[in-house]
Amino acid sequence: MGDIASLIAPHPLLVQSCEEDHLNGSRGLKNVDEQLEIVRDAYKLLGRRDGLRHEVCPGEHHLGVTYLAEDIEWLDSHVAECAPVHSPSACCE
Please report which helix (H) or strand (E) contains residue 12, including its range: none
Task: Say which DSSP state 87 is in.
Answer: S
pLDDT tens digits, 47-65? 999 999 999 999 999 998 9
Give Cβ neighbours of residue 34 (< 8 Å, ≥ 6 apart): 2
Q: What is the pTM of this model?
A: 0.77
Give Cβ neighbours of residue 58 (< 8 Å, ≥ 6 apart): 18, 19, 20, 64
Hey, is 16 helix, strand or coil?
strand
Give residue 88's pLDDT: 55
User: Which neighbouring-strand residues pair with 53?
Assistant: 14
Task: Say which DSSP state 92 is in.
Answer: -
Please state the domain count of the chain. Answer: 1
The range of the structural domain enclosing residue 86 comes to: 2-90
